[in-house]
Amino acid sequence: MSPRSMVATLSFMGAGFVSVYVLCHLI
């Protein structure tokens, strides 16, 4: 796996985690 795709995967997972965290704490 290339570093670029690894960073893309990590940022995608991070964004998903943050949106779930924010939704759970706002509701």
- DSSP for 5-17? HHHHHHHHHHHHH
- pLDDT of 1: 76
Give the type of residue at 25: H
- Write down the pLDDT at residue 27: 77
Backbone torsions φ then ψ of 15, nearest 5 degrees: -65, -40
Look at the chain and report how many structural domains it folds into.
1
Whole-model pTM: value is 0.57
The predicted-structure confidence for 1-27, as pLDDT tens digits, reads as follows 799 999 999 999 999 999 999 999 987
Its domain, for residue 8, covers: 1-27
DSSP state of 2: -
- SS3 (DSSP) at 13: helix
* Half-sphere exposure in the Cβ direction for 14 (13 Å, CA): 6
